[in-house]
Amino acid sequence: MPGTGGHGAVTRSTLRQQIADALRDEVLAGRLQPGQEFTVREIADQYGVSATPVREALVDLSAQGLLEADQHRGFHVREYSVEDFRGLVEARSLVTDGMFQALGEGHRGFRDPDDPRTATALAGVRRRGEEAQRAATAGDLTVLIGYDLRFWRELSGLFGNPYLADFLHRLRVQSWVCAVQHLRRLTDLRGQLWAGHTELVDALARRDTDTARALIAAYNTHALTLIERLAGD
């Protein structure tokens, strides 16, 4: 029956995404370490599913830069260098700077700040920022990463360009994958993590792009200094 085939395709696609999300969370939580190897069959057995959606999920994560395929052996978690981290920070800075420039020039892609829908959306982004700040202050890296990714995804979505939002999200996931391999070595992260999310939202709500750029510059300097120090220890 045509309906059954369609439902099966949707189910497999959903399972593929669920597995990809679960494995990404395992990498970000540090439970899958850089360089750690595994096969499609091992992951399929772990989740109790068939090999096909697992293979598709692993290919997706490889395309996103989280995993690398090993010829005839399976996959392993990608190992990022400090130089990779510098490149990722520079790339995401170029994206955010373009966003801020568009905002400063009154680009039509950014929602009208006087529109009630914009105020509602910004309030939602700010709530994500508040949660991210609380997690950063408490040194809870896992919670911080979750809220930070949602914060940037929703913030970039205000600019009305889904391609930009997707690209920035990918860069931020890769940045976190690179950073966690160093940050997880610290037993106490309180006071070590950037917590300027709400200040950034407030600056953008005012269309104060100079302050927004200054905040991002300080954030990047903080992140690079911390990761370089940890990598050198």
- With cut-offs at 50, 70 and 90, classify the pLDDT of residue 11: low
Locate 28 and state its tokens: 């970000």
Report the candidate in 12, 10, 32, 36 with the shortest Cα–Cα distance to residue 22. Answer: 32
> In this predicted model, which residue has the larger pLDDT, 152 or 105?
152
- Is pLDDT above 90 for 145? yes
Please state, as a whole number, how many other Cβ atoms lie within 10 Å of the Cβ of residue 69: 12
Assign 31 a pLDDT band (cuts: 50, 70, 90): confident
Identify the pLDDT of residue 113. 58
Q: How confident is the model at residue 108 (pLDDT cuts 50, 70, 90)?
A: low
pTM here is 0.85
Cβ-Cβ contacts under 8 Å for 5 (sequence gap 6 or more)? none
φ/ψ of residue 74, rounded to 5: 140, -135
pLDDT of residue 118: 77
Residues in the chain: 233
Q: Which strands make up the sheet holding 67-70, listed edge to edge?
A: 37-38, 74-77, 67-70
What integer pLDDT is reported at residue 5 of this predicted model?
43
Query: If you average pLDDT over residues 197-207, what whole number do you get?
Result: 92
Cross-strand bridge partners of residue 76: 37, 68
What is the residue extent of each domain of the chain? Answer: 2-77, 82-232
- Domain 82-232 is found in CATH 3.30.70: no
**Number of neighbouring beta carbons within 10 Å of residue 142:** 13
On whether the CB atoms of residues 226 and 233 are closer than 8 A, the answer is no
- Whether residue 7 has pLDDT greater than 60: no
Fold of 2-77: Arc Repressor Mutant, subunit A (1.10.10)
Identify the weakest region by mean pLDDT among 95-99, 101-105, 124-128, 209-213: 101-105
Q: pLDDT value at position 149?
A: 96
- pLDDT value for 6: 44
pLDDT band, residue 111 (cuts 50/70/90): low
- Overall average pLDDT of the 144-156 stretch: 95
Residue 58 and residue 24: Cα distance in Å, rounded? 10
Backbone angles phi, psi at 188, to 5 degrees: -135, 115
Q: Could you report the per-residue pLDDT of 35-81, keeping only the tens digit for each?
A: 999 999 999 999 999 999 999 999 999 998 899 998 777 899 999 99
Residue type, 112: D
Strand partners, 69: 75
Helix (H, G, I), strand (E, B) or coil at 68: strand
Instruction: Give the chain's mean pLDDT.
Output: 88
| Lowest mean pLDDT segment, chosen from 103-112, 145-154, 195-204, 214-223 | 103-112
Token output for 114: 């006087």
Helix (H) and strand (E) counts in the chain: 9, 3
Give the span between the Cα atoms of 215 and 222, in whole angstroms: 11
